[in-house]
Amino acid sequence: MTMKTPIFTGSCTAIITPYDHDGSINFNKMAELIDFQAENGTAALVVCGTTGENATQTVEEHEEIVDFCTQHNNGRMKIIAGIGSNDTMTALRLGKSAMKSGADAVLMITPYYNKATQQGLVKHFSYVADRVDLPMILYNVPSRTGVGISVDTYKELSKHPNINGIKEASSDFTLFARTRAVCGDDMNIWCGNDDQIVPMMSLGALGVISVASNIVPAQVAEICRLCLDGNFADGAKLFLEYVELFSDLFIEVNPIPVKTAMNLMGMDVGTFRLPLCDMYPNNLEKLKAAMRKNGLIQ
């Protein structure tokens, strides 16, 4: 098999969805956030991913957001539409809609709640990849979905021409290393955890799909650039300056801390949709301390 051209290299922001105070989507703010990312070295955006609160959006809202972001971006960055669902047919609908909107790729999480066997995962991802003519990134985050992708399943899925790569967020370095060894250039891999960027890139990850880059896009992009250039010493130095912040952005379930941080920085991205809610006061103080340390707030 020939090497699969990666959808992007460097930093991809899993962008939040800003809401007005009545809970509707704030598209004016979304446009501002897209511009902010484009101006700060971000290579790609994941729209309607976990960080974008896709779990509490209707299919119609989801399609509207992807459409808006693709048009407003206007080719500046790659647009990757989250299409994950525990219903294969819903994922297919979202994938076809992303194609119509002009997205560059799709991101598809493992099915949650109903989960799946490894055979079921192969069938689930392949069914959509057979019918949506866009590069697909598989998303492995068993802490959220209750099911993980095995090395053998990655190997099987790497044979599919439309399956371009993996957002690997299992925190399992052995799984990651074995997948790299087995799949080689048939499967591009991106780091799925901000607090693991440099070690994963040292083993061949091509960048990160990042939550932290919602607030520090230039810094995350620079960490990735240094690693891609083979300058892991300087990449690690910069990474270590921010690793506490990267970690504290997950002190409560994502995207609660990052949206809270954006509001603390005056970005006015609105509230959350239930069941997400405001941070516990002690966690809020810890987040503020990490932000002060990096000069993000006074």
What are the residue numbers of the active site?
139, 167
Amino acid sitting at position 52? G
Three-state secondary structure string covering 198-259: HHHHHCCCCEEEECHHHCCHHHHHHHHHHHHCCCHHHHHHHHHHHHHHHHHCCCCCCCHHHH
> Rounded to 5 degrees, what are φ and ψ at 145?
-105, -20
SS3 6: coil
Q: Is 294 exposed, middle or buried (0-12, 13-18, 19+ CB in 10 A)?
A: middle
Angle at CA of residue 256, ends 271 and 294, nearest 5°: 110
Per-residue DSSP letters for 12-48?
Answer: EEE----B-TTSSB-HHHHHHHHHHHHTTT--EEEES
Both structure tokens of 288 = 């503020």
122, 111 Cβ separation under 8 angstroms: no
Measure the CA–CA gap between 295 and 291, rounded to whole angstroms.
6
| Structure letter (DSSP) for residue 104 | S
123, 91 Cβ separation under 8 angstroms: no
Task: Write down the residue that tokens 């290579």 correspond to.
Answer: 43
**Which residues are bridge partners to 105 per DSSP?**
80
